[in-house]
Structure 1
Amino acid sequence: MEQQNRKHLSDHYAIRRLKQGECIKSFNCGDTDLNDFILNESVYYRNALLAVSYTVEKRDDPNNVIAYFSLANDRISLGDFENKTEFNRFRKHRFVNEKRLKSYPAVKICRLGVDLSMKGLFVGTFLLNFIKSYFIIDNKTGCRFLTVDAYANAVPFYFKNGFIPLNEDDADSDTRLLFFDLATIVDGTN
């Protein structure tokens, strides 16, 4: 079923980067904050060079936005951990000694929303797979991780898509910092 939906999405929908100053007129994912971002704020984030938004649109009707996501630069660093020991545990199995830095490049998924009409059709998973491949195939900037501050109710969705908590400090918070190691795709451990 998921394979069929992925093929259907690829055949009938296109992912497009929003142009400078471009506004989306209509979108409803059921979350006021996510709706407000794409309808009103994304243009300001783009103009300030803070985030870039992408839409998923019907190929035959580009005004019909069924989903969107926004990306920004990020990093995973010592400051994200309770202490240096936790940070060293994080990087111990991921990097050889020569590559042990104080921070590692990441891309943050700032927002991701799927229109209510498309819920349950694996559009969110389709987008996460697109984002993962976007930074694996011809890696644009040298990016090792994807990060997201996931709403608590979205955490299970990100877990199903291979994201894991960066630490346990925010386990009971409204949002949870999760990451995905892109090297798991490259070296086949995912």
Structure 2
Amino acid sequence: MEFAEDVVFFRLTEETIIKPFLSKDKDLNEFLFQEAKHYQKKLLATTHIIENRSKTLAYISVFNDTRFADESKFVSKNQARKFVLSQLPSQKRHIKSFPAIKIGRLAVCQEEKGFGKLLIGWIMDYAIHCNDTSACKFITVDAYKVSLGFYEKMNFVYLSDKDINQDTRQMYLDLTPYLNTFKKIV
């Protein structure tokens, strides 16, 4: 990613001194300052930060995931079956799980805009290039209701309607349509 001269993007380390950060979500703020390093140390999630000289502008915390075509996550068996059929060639219809990278947290400083899109672009590029050594078909997220519109604009789709009345919705982005686009950019 390219930024203005004083903006940097890096992976959080044990030695990182996290600069001030305030998003509109208290839980996302607390995660960055109180839990991100611990999650990283325990190999549960890796956090990447965008900051300038004075503050943290945005961050994303990611980990490996599996998108299961588990019938309990869908409204009906038929909806689960349609999901599997849409993702696989006919001779491999017995597969019930798909490799993914999950966005555990994504937050942008409340005074800033545009960094969320940059982070989604970065994780898409990263996930597609991971396919050189280990498969990754989806980017997944359990999106807060206030963020659903953002993820929809980024072409994420809902896994099912079963969680429509929940605080978070399971969403995914199929990387297949982007495979050639990102390979050409790099």
* Bin of the TM-score, shorter chain as denominator length: 0.7 to 0.9
Q: Secondary structure at the match of 2:111?
A: helix
| Superposed displacement of residue 30, structure 1 | 2.0
Judge conservation of contact 1:165–1:179 (CA < 8 Å) in 2. yes
Q: Secondary structure at the match of 1:98?
A: helix
Note the 1:86-101 alignment, pairs <5 A. 86-100=79-93, 101=95
Partners in 1 of 2:107 and 2:84 — Cα distance?
Answer: 31
**Equivalent residue, structure 2, for 1:102:** 96
Judge conservation of contact 2:69–2:97 (CA < 8 Å) in 1. yes
Counterpart pick for 1:113 among 92, 96, 107: 107
Note the 1:1-190 alignment, pairs <5 A. 10-12=2-4, 13-20=7-14, 22=16, 24-58=18-52, 61=53, 64-79=55-70, 80-100=73-93, 101-118=95-112, 121-139=113-131, 141-186=134-179
Structure 2, unmatched stretches of 5+, are: 182-186
TM-score by length of 1: 0.83
Partners in 2 of 1:171 and 1:21 — Cα distance?
Answer: 41
Judge conservation of contact 2:144–2:167 (CA < 8 Å) in 1. yes
TM-score by length of 2: 0.85
Question: Percent of aligned positions with the same letter in both sequences?
Answer: 34
Q: Secondary structure at the match of 1:93?
A: helix
**One-letter code aligned to 2:153:** K
**One-letter code aligned to 1:55:** I
| Superposed displacement of residue 138, structure 1 | 4.7
Q: Secondary structure at the match of 1:10?
A: coil
**One-letter code aligned to 2:27:** D
CA RMSD of aligned residues (A): 2.0
Structure 1, unmatched stretches of 5+, are: 1-8
After the TM superposition, which segments of 4 or more aligned residues of structure 1 sit over 6 Å from their partners?
none
**One-letter code aligned to 1:98:** Q
